[in-house]
Amino acid sequence: MRRKAQALRIKSSREKGSADMRRIGMLTSGGDCQALNATMRGVAKSLYNMFDDVEIIGFEDGYKGLMYADYKIMQPSDFSGILTEGGTILGTSRQPFKLMRTPDENGLDKVESMKHTYRKLKLNCLVVLGGNGSQKTANLLSEEGLNVVSLPKTIDNDLWGTDMTFGFQSAVNIATNAIDCIHTTAASHRRVFIVEVMGHKVGWLTLHAGLAGGADIILLPEIPYDINVVCDAITKRSKAGKRFSILAVAEGAISREEASMSKKELKAKKRTEMVYPSVAYEIGARITEITGSEVRVTVPGHMQRGGEPCAYDRVLSTRLGATAAKMIADGEFGYMAAVKNNDIVKVPLSEVAGRLKTVDPNCSMIKEAKMVGICFGDE
C-alpha cells in the first residue's frame, strides 16, 4: 500500500509539474557518521534555489532502498533543522561491493533492480553519500549508464581523490576528547593507558587524534610496530620521571611479525590465536608481560561516529552539497565532489573507485610528530 501511495504521489506531481521538472534520487550508504544530514541539506537547498521545479526522492537504508524501491518523496521542510543533527534521516546500510553481482536470497539481480528503480522513477540523477565501498557501487552504476554524482563520506578520511571527507574532523574531535579525558586520570596513576581509535586499514583518524591529544605513542596500520620498541619508549619515559604513558592505537594496527605474513597466514593466526577482544588489549598484555607496567584500555568505539557534526564539517558539507547540485545543473555526471587545496572540485568516479588514501610513513606529519618525541613503534 505504501509503495502504491508513493507511486500515485509521483504520478500526481508529474501531472502538475512542468516538462522540465528535475527528479533527483538521494541515498546515504555504508557506516553512519556526522554531517550526513548537513551534506544532504547542502545538496537539497542548492537544488531548490537553482530550479523552480525539482523533486527529491530519498531512498531508505542506502542502496538497499534503491534495490527494493523503498523510498519517500522529500519535502523542503525535511531538510530544515538538520544541519546540526547527527546520523542520517534516510537511514543507511552496508551493501558489500563484492556481493553486488551476487543475487539476493530471492534471486534478485541487485544491479538490474537498482537500474530498474532509477528508470521507473524517471530520475535525472542519483546522489550518493558514501565511503569506499559506496563509491565503487556508485561508479558501477555510472558505468551501467545512470547519471550519478557522489559525495565523500567517512570518518577514516581514506577516500582517494579528496584531501578531506566529511565526518572526519568530527570524529577526530571525539577521539581527541577521549585522549584528553584519559590524561586527567593518567596524571593520578602510574599506568600505561591505551586508547583504541577506529581505522582498520588506514590511520588518519588515529594520527590526527594522537597528535591533538598529546599521545606519547601512536600505532598505525601503515607502520608495522615492534613491541620491543614500544616497550623501550615506555621504559624511557618512566626512567625520565614520567608517571604515565598514553598510546593512541588504530584498531588495524599490525606488528612487524604479522606484516611479514601472507593474508592467508594472518587470517589463520587471528582465527586460532586471537584471544583478546581487539588489538589494543593484545598490545596491553604484551606491554605488561615485558615491562611489568599496569595497563588500562579504553575503546571509544562507535561514539566516534555519533553526535552532532563540528563546525568544520558543517561548512565542508554545505560546500560539497552546493557543488554536487551545480554538477547536476551542469549535467556533469560520473564525478565525486572533492576537496583539493581547500577548493571544492570534481573527481571522476572511475579514478576514486577501489583506491585507498593511506598515511605515507614518510610524510611530513609523521616526521614532525617524531621530532617532538612521539614513538610510532618502528624505531
Exposed / middle / buried, residue 261 (Cβ in 10 Å: 0-12, 13-18, 19+): middle
304 is an annotated ligand-binding site residue: yes
Q: Are 28 and 40 in contact (CB under 8 A)?
A: yes
303 is an annotated ligand-binding site residue: yes
251 is an annotated ligand-binding site residue: yes
131 is an annotated ligand-binding site residue: yes
Tell me which residues are annotated as active site: 156
Q: Are 357 and 207 in contact (CB under 8 A)?
A: no
302 is an annotated ligand-binding site residue: yes
21 is an annotated ligand-binding site residue: no
305 is an annotated ligand-binding site residue: yes
Cell of 346: 570534481
3 is an annotated ligand-binding site residue: no
133 is an annotated ligand-binding site residue: yes
Judged by phi (left if over 0) then psi (alpha if -120 to 50, else beta), residue 292 lies in: left
Number of Cβ within a 10 Å radius of residue 147: 20
Phi (first) and psi of residue 274, to 5 degrees: -75, 110
232 is an annotated ligand-binding site residue: no
Instruction: Using only the alpha carbons of the chain, give its radius of gyration.
Output: 23
Residue 337: name the closest of 316, 308, 359, 357 by CA.
316
Sheet of strand 71-73, all strands in order from the earlier edge strand to the far edge? 71-73, 54-59, 22-28, 125-130, 148-152, 335-340, 343-348
31 is an annotated ligand-binding site residue: yes
Measured distance CA(84)–CA(41) in Å, rounded: 10
23 is an annotated ligand-binding site residue: no
Element (H, E) at 150: strand 148-152
143 is an annotated ligand-binding site residue: no
114 is an annotated ligand-binding site residue: no
Measured distance CA(371)–CA(364) in Å, rounded: 10
Q: Are 172 and 205 in contact (CB under 8 A)?
A: yes
100 is an annotated ligand-binding site residue: no
- Reported in sequence order, the residue ranges of 29-98 that DSSP labels E, i.e. its strands, are 54-59, 71-73
161 is an annotated ligand-binding site residue: no
Task: List binding-site positions for ATP.
Answer: 31, 94-95, 131-134
Task: List binding-site positions for substrate.
Answer: 154-156, 191, 198-200, 251, 296, 302-305
Task: List binding-site positions.
Answer: 31, 94-95, 131-134, 154-156, 191, 198-200, 251, 296, 302-305
Task: List binding-site positions for Mg(2+).
Answer: 132
